[in-house]
Amino acid sequence: MRNAFLSKNPQYLLLLVLFSFSSLTAQDYQKTTLGVKTKFQALDVEIQFYSPTIVRILKSPKGIAFKKESLSVIKKPESIKFTTQQKGDLVSLQSKKLKVTIDVKSGKVSFNSLAGSALLSETASGASFTDFNDAGSKTYNVNQEFKLDQDEAIYGLGQQQRGQLSLRNAKINMVQGNVDDYVPFLVSTKGYGLFWDNYSPTIFEDKPESTSFQSEVGDCIDYYFILGDNIDGSIAGMRELTGQAPMFPLWTFGYWQSKERYKSQNELVGVVSKYRELGVPLDGIIQDWQYWGNNYLWNAMEFLNTEFPNPKKMVDDIHNMNAHMIISIWNSFGPQTKQFREMQPKGMLLNFGTWPQSGVESWPPNRDYPSGVQPYDPYNPEARNIYWKYLSKGLFSVGIDGWWIDSSEPDHLDFKPSDFDIKTYLGSFRKVRNAFPLMTVGGVSEHQRAESSDKRIFILTRSAFAGQQRYGANTWSGDVNSSWQSLRNQIPAGLNFSMSAIPYWNTDIGGFFAGSYKKGWGDGTKNPSFQELYVRWMQFGAFTPMMRSHGTDIPREIYNFGKKGDIIYDAIVKTIDLRYSLLPYIYSASWDITKNQSTMMRALVMDFDDKKVVDMNNEYLFGKSILVAPVVHAQYTPETIVKSNEETGWNKNEDTNSAKIQETTFAQVKSTKVYLPKGTSWYDFWTNEKINGGQEITKATTIDEIPLYIKSGSIIPFGPQVQYATEKKWDNLEIRVYPGADGEFTLYEDENDNYNYEKGAYSTITFKWNDKTQALMIGKRRGSFNGMLKNRKFNIVIVTDGKQFRENPTTNFNKTLSYDGKEKIVKL
């Protein structure tokens, strides 16, 4: 009967089919205040808008409840307007900036611009959960695959010593290590960022067919898509999500001297005194380990070594010479320390092999006398309280200016898989392993800020994780080799780290392990091979966020390399002086980081639409105006291949293959290749010669100079010659303008330390160059602070093409003008 009716009335058959189809699709998702929830196959999926440009994707096995509180993400979801629409199996969510689509049958999520351009997509069957027993807790191995465009470039994931910039076709085992710091955040040339919010050991792999993150432990798949439009915008979104970078004190941007290690109070103070005597600029000195005494007292955070009898006087002596001091602290404690004795009964120590392995100082470690040193559990808030209690009482109280948090991965020696089963406050060590540096650095930072705002937090640390930029920390690249290959590796390592949204990074100038250069050369400082490498590393270090010389085996203080008039000595002084002349530029770039989420070490791909710079690993911009092309190949001496690592490097055996080479004068002029990106013209910093971009050139070099180029349209302030950062006021700055394009620069000034800038105690002066009218506008000063210069002079220099100037010296423009905070215009 029913079939006969339908056959005679086909319109009712069509309505029945449509009703059946709609009943299958209309309720395939549930709208929430943040996005939507849906189910497919065996998984629950949730899409959450955190802002119009930031979206969180959560996936978990169907019906399995879990609780996830991110260690990295501090942003709370905004209440934003978005629309949802379903067409067949596709459910789309759209904010005012971004469109997100999920296939409710396959679970595939994709991200598109509002114009319809595809940005990123998961693969059709890319999410997987595999049952895993994590030290007795039922959980999962989790994996998510994405599909990238063939010509898309990606960067970030922290610091790797691969010597390459692009992450395409890379497979990276992301477990924190001495010289590798992993941050599971990447940026794309397509204008987005991707943050994989997981703390367990993770394998990142990019293949032609897919790009994936696979983590050992996860109750859920949890990642964030950030629409940035470009790399800068993606980094800004990551900092919006995980925290902004505060200002460092001005003195941290000066020159820092260190070595492994100063063995007495007199030696440490004597280094600063010698620099002042020589007139070589210096802002900081660093005390490395064992000021506490023997290894059983490891990291006692007290001066128990009798060679440091009066620490308060030591610090005062350094301060009285207008220098600052930071000191080595670790994340582990010896069994005779107060910290160990307080933490152990409370289960706050992690019992696995760490540095040092022996209680006596010898190599190899004497296992008959184990050190008993154990890392603490920084995931435990009470343990972090105890850590700061002793740090504040033993070191902060005597006036130490900052902290060198060593082994912040931490060192994990003689690794056994069962070590990952060790319980922390937040679960197994496996579950939270990669977030260790974030927690320990964060513990110190938060406690110091709570105790005092008089002194800005400054932490030098060896490892990092997502969000660490909010804690006032500068990460260094670990105990790297003293070799040319290692120097080459540092450039892409620092650039990828910077593109991981953490803007402050540095490296041991000269490389840490340098024993191979001592054979037949005493302490090694007179070995031309080391001298050349050290000078070139110094020149690179002058254009990183912290300029810090450090290493073992060979002393690094300048007076070990000769005296004034000696070519190596003079090259080092010239480089340090150049760094200090750029402090107004560097400090303003630091403000740009804090205020505008900028980046100081900039891969060229961030600023130039030029295919030749997509994977360029030997040049970069320092700030937004200075192109740095370090000399990274030996030009005067043989390029000795040195092989060691952070463990075997501690073996002090000298390299028997290092033959003594002939004395080298370093007087010859050499040359190197430099690529100048297209889209602008460039000025040779040393000669002012103007050169069109989009070409590779051959640049003459000497031992005391590396290729530096200034982008047309740049405005750069140069400070006075000083012995330390705050010695002289910036009352007579030279303002150089490099014509050829419009330009703008904002000069930032404040009280140089403390947190009053957060209350508005700072000033800015914006300079604008109009290339068409050949006029420089000096804007009205905005803001004020105690000690601000109300009246000053600017020496305006409009740079002329060096070739043109040589032919007609009268073309140069130089004018000194008085400035009282009101707008002024200077015409050529």
**Which residue among 240, 409, 607, 750 is the active-site one?**
409
Residue 115 lies in a domain: yes
Pair (232, 370) in one structural domain: no
The two counts, helices (H) then strands (E), for the chain are 14, 47
> d(Cα 506, Cα 474) in Å, to the nearest integer?
7
Instruction: Give me the mean pLDDT over the 656-668 stretch.
Output: 69
Cα→Cα distances 157→614, 683, 798, Å: 17, 33, 41
Pair (441, 318) in one structural domain: yes
Pair (132, 270) in one structural domain: no
**Adjacent-strand bridge partners of 461:** 405, 475
Confidence at residue 436, expressed as pLDDT on a 0 to 100 scale: 98
CATH number of domain containing 424: 3.20.20.80
Residue 275 lies in a domain: yes
- The pLDDT tens digits for 734-750 are 999 999 999 999 999 99
Q: Would residue 801 show up in a list of annotated catalytic residues for this protein? A: no
State the amino acid at position 276 in one-letter form.
R
pLDDT greater than 50 at residue 430: yes
Confidence at residue 662, expressed as pLDDT on a 0 to 100 scale: 61
Confidence at residue 121, expressed as pLDDT on a 0 to 100 scale: 98
> d(Cα 748, Cα 671) in Å, to the nearest integer?
37
Counting every residue written for the chain, the total comes to 828
Pair (349, 445) in one structural domain: yes
> d(Cα 401, Cα 657) in Å, to the nearest integer?
42
Pair (453, 374) in one structural domain: yes
- CA within 13 Å, CB half, 722: 24
Which segments within 185-246 are labelled E, that is strand?
A: 185-188, 192-196, 202-206, 211-215, 221-227
Instruction: Give me the mean pLDDT over the 723-741 stretch.
Output: 98
Confidence at residue 661, expressed as pLDDT on a 0 to 100 scale: 60
Pair (216, 297) in one structural domain: no
- The pLDDT tens digits for 515-538 are 999 988 999 999 999 999 999 999
pLDDT greater than 50 at residue 347: yes
Instruction: Give me the mean pLDDT over the 341-348 stretch.
Output: 98
Instruction: Give me the mean pLDDT over the 68-96 stretch.
Output: 96
- The pLDDT tens digits for 773-787 are 999 999 999 999 999
Asked if 307 contacts 344 with a C-beta cutoff of 8 angstroms, the reply is no
> d(Cα 100, Cα 120) in Å, to the nearest integer?
10
Pair (731, 803) in one structural domain: yes
The phi and psi torsions of 511 (rounded to 5 degrees) equal: 80, 150
Tell me the pLDDT band of 653, cut-offs 50, 70 and 90.
low
pLDDT greater than 90 at residue 3: no
For the CA atoms of 729, 731, 732, 738, what is the dihedral angle to 10 degrees?
90
Which of these three, 242, 275, 308, is where a domain ends?
A: 242
164 burial level (CB within 10 Å; 0-12, 13-18, 19+): middle
DSSP track, 562-587: --TTSHHHHHHHHHHHHHHHTHHHHH
The token pair at 589 is 């770039």
**Which residue among 145, 377, 406, 750 is the active-site one?**
406
Asked if 527 contacts 518 with a C-beta cutoff of 8 angstroms, the reply is yes
Task: Identify the domain containing residue 279 by its residue range.
Answer: 263-457
> d(Cα 21, Cα 23) in Å, to the nearest integer?
5
Confidence at residue 660, expressed as pLDDT on a 0 to 100 scale: 59
Query: What single DSSP character describes residue 381?
Result: H
Question: 202-229 burial string, b = 16+ CB within 10 Å, else e?
Answer: bebebeeeebbbbbbbbbbbbbbbbbbe
Residue 105 lies in a domain: yes
Confidence at residue 7, expressed as pLDDT on a 0 to 100 scale: 47
Query: What single DSSP character describes residue 244?
Result: P
**Look-up of token digits 């792999």:** 205
Residue 514 lies in a domain: no
Tell me the pLDDT band of 12, cut-offs 50, 70 and 90.
very low
Three-state DSSP at 599 gives coil
The token pair at 730 is 């910036």
Pair (55, 198) in one structural domain: yes
**Look-up of token digits 């260790």:** 436
Residue 250 lies in a domain: no
> d(Cα 555, Cα 550) in Å, to the nearest integer?
8
pLDDT greater than 80 at residue 162: yes
The phi and psi torsions of 84 (rounded to 5 degrees) equal: -125, 150
Q: Would residue 409 show up in a list of annotated catalytic residues for this protein? A: yes
pLDDT greater than 60 at residue 27: no
pLDDT greater than 50 at residue 43: yes
pLDDT greater than 90 at residue 813: no
Which of these three, 416, 435, 457, is where a domain ends?
A: 457
CATH number of domain containing 745: 2.60.40.1180
More confident residue, 340 or 10: 340
Rounded to two decimals, what is the model's pTM? Answer: 0.95
DSSP track, 5-46: HHHH-HHHHHHHHHHHHHHHHTTSEEE-SSEEEEEETTEEEE
Tell me the pLDDT band of 312, cut-offs 50, 70 and 90.
very high
Instruction: Give me the mean pLDDT over the 18-43 stretch.
Output: 72
The token pair at 564 is 């004034």
Confidence at residue 10, expressed as pLDDT on a 0 to 100 scale: 46
Asked if 126 contacts 207 with a C-beta cutoff of 8 angstroms, the reply is no
Cα→Cα distances 487→221, 305, 507, 632, Å: 37, 35, 9, 7
**Which residue among 479, 592, 749, 750 is the active-site one?**
479
State the amino acid at position 759 in one-letter form.
K
pLDDT greater than 80 at residue 474: yes
Cβ-proximal residues to 67 (8 Å cutoff; 6+ apart), any chain: none
- The pLDDT tens digits for 599-611 are 999 999 999 999 9
Confidence at residue 652, expressed as pLDDT on a 0 to 100 scale: 58
- The pLDDT tens digits for 490-517 are 999 999 999 999 999 999 999 999 999 9
CB atoms closer than 10 angstroms to residue 689: 17
Rounded to an integer, what is the distance from CA 66 to the centroid of its chain? Answer: 32
Pair (58, 201) in one structural domain: yes
Asked if 126 contacts 212 with a C-beta cutoff of 8 angstroms, the reply is yes
| Start-to-end C-alpha separation, the chain | 97
* Dihedral (CA of 752, 406, 573, 489) sign: negative
Confidence at residue 651, expressed as pLDDT on a 0 to 100 scale: 62
State the amino acid at position 769 in one-letter form.
W
Q: Would residue 44 show up in a list of annotated catalytic residues for this protein? A: no
Tell me the pLDDT band of 11, cut-offs 50, 70 and 90.
very low
Which of these three, 424, 457, 490, is where a domain ends?
A: 457
Tell me the pLDDT band of 645, cut-offs 50, 70 and 90.
confident
Confidence at residue 141, expressed as pLDDT on a 0 to 100 scale: 98
Tell me the pLDDT band of 655, cut-offs 50, 70 and 90.
very low
Pair (372, 323) in one structural domain: yes
- Lowest-confidence pick of 130-134, 588-592, 810-814: 810-814
> d(Cα 743, Cα 737) in Å, to the nearest integer?
8
pLDDT greater than 50 at residue 656: no
Residue 412 lies in a domain: yes
Pair (218, 305) in one structural domain: no
Domain count, the chain: 3
Pair (324, 213) in one structural domain: no
pLDDT greater than 80 at residue 24: no
Residue 43 lies in a domain: yes
Tell me the pLDDT band of 16, cut-offs 50, 70 and 90.
very low
**Look-up of token digits 């941050």:** 183
CATH number of domain containing 165: 2.60.40.1760
**Look-up of token digits 């998984």:** 43
Taking all residues of the chain, what is their mean pLDDT, rounded to a whole number?
94
Residue 272 lies in a domain: yes
pLDDT greater than 80 at residue 475: yes
Asked if 234 contacts 187 with a C-beta cutoff of 8 angstroms, the reply is yes
